[in-house]
């Protein structure tokens, strides 16, 4: 097996192989590209994620000698609300099960994990004893939770760091609130989407975007753009069903919205 350095620099998806992660291959590649950038910016970086489930997204950090500490926050409710309008059920979702699976990824790596059961609305940020350079938000998929998790991450982030969201295609309104908040508070940031549905917010001076694998994804931004629009296309298909289409046509005619002069 190739050593970790060459595996991370080639964005080797095998780094996710032991525990199934709830993400598509493009997401995994983007997460590895962010990790690659962060470990170059801050060798010895600290990682925190909200929403770990079985530990799928923890694996590459567990294996990374340049990652010093991992915090995993997960409330582990049986049923979680979701902005798509359908609640999701997670059976047998426990910290013990996650740690057992991660033991098989790296027994030694387990020493750097701290787990916290709960949600960021009830956790005191002082429980995070290290300055964090990379946060990953993948917990409850509602706009409200995404914004709440983001505020928590801002509290515990180092002066410069990155906050990364999964499923931006679901919590995009929450992410928009995060951007508004940064603007309102005058906090320097850069925000961008990576394939397929990963959204990165760099805080302060933390140029993840300059790292060659991330830069390449940014130049080819059609991947995430088209994936996201197509993922939400069912809503347009629904709005175009006959009765809704007739109603919309009538409304457009009544308001004169579909006439150009
Ligand atoms: C999509 S899964 C995480 C997947 C994981 N990151 C991976 O890549 O395999 C979502 C997780 O968020 C957790 N969760 C749900 N509501 C939460 C909340 N309010 N705060 C923190 N975690 C929450 C669930 O227990 C679940 O384990």
Report the atom number in ligand 1 closest to the C-alpha of 139. 12
CA 122 to centroid of ligand 1, rounded, Å: 15
Which of 140, 145, 146 is the best mutation target for the ligand 1 pocket, counting ligand atoms within 8 Å of the beta carbon and taking the most? 140
Domain 4-220 class in CATH: alpha beta
- Listed by start position, the domains of the chain span 4-220
Protein residue with its CA nearest to atom 15 in ligand 1:
140
Q: Which residues in the chain come in under a pLDDT of 50? A: none
Residue 1: what pLDDT? 52
Residue 258: what pLDDT? 86
Residue 260: what pLDDT? 86
CA 84 to centroid of ligand 1, rounded, Å: 16
CA atoms in the 13 A half-sphere facing the CB of 138? 25
Residue by residue, DSSP assigns 24-46 as -HHHHHHHHHHHHHHHHHSTTEE
The pocket around ligand 1, CB under 6 angstroms, is made up of 21-23, 50-53, 56-57, 73-77, 80, 90, 93, 119, 138-140, 145
Q: Are 115 and 74 in contact (CB under 8 A)?
A: yes
Residue 106 CB-density burial (10 A; 0-12 exposed, 13-18 middle, 19+ buried) = middle
* Alpha-carbon gap, residue 24 to 172, rounded angstroms: 18
CA 247 to centroid of ligand 1, rounded, Å: 39
Residue 112 CB-density burial (10 A; 0-12 exposed, 13-18 middle, 19+ buried) = middle
CA 219 to centroid of ligand 1, rounded, Å: 30
Protein residue with its CA nearest to atom 16 in ligand 1:
140
Total Cβ atoms within 10 A of residue 97: 14
In the DSSP assignment, the letter for residue 22 is S
Q: Are 95 and 114 in contact (CB under 8 A)?
A: no
């Amino acid at each position: 097996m190739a050593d970790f350095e060459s595996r991370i620099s080639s964005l080797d998806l095998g780094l996710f192989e032991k525990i199934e992660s709830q993400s598509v291959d493009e997401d995994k590649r983007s997460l590895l590209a962010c990790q690659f950038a962060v470990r170059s910016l801050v060798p010895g970086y600290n990682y925190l994620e909200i929403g770990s489930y079985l530990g799928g997204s923890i694996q590459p950090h567990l294996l990374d000698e340049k990652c010093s500490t991992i915090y995993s926050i997960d409330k582990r409710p049986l049923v979680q609300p979701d902005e798509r309008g359908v609640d999701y059920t997670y059976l047998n979702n426990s910290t013990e099960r996650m740690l057992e699976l991660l033991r098989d990824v790296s027994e030694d790596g387990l020493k750097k994990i701290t787990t916290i059961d709960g949600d960021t609305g009830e956790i005191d940020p002082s429980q995070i004893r290290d300055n964090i350079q990379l946060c990953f938000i993948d917990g409850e998929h509602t706009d409200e939770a995404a914004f709440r998790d983001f505020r928590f991450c801002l509290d515990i982030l180092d002066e410069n760091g990155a906050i990364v969201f999964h499923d931006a295609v679901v919590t995009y309104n929450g992410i928009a609130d995060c951007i508004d908040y940064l603007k309102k508070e005058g906090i320097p940031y850069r925000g961008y989407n990576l394939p397929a549905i990963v959204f990165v917010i760099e805080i302060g001076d933390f140029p993840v975007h300059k790292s060659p694998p991330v830069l390449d994804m940014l130049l080819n931004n059609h991947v995430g753009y088209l994936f996201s629009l197509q993922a939400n296309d069912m809503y347009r298909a629904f709005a175009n069903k006959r009765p809704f289409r007739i109603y919309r046509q009538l409304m457009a005619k009544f308001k004169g919205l579909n006439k150009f002069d």
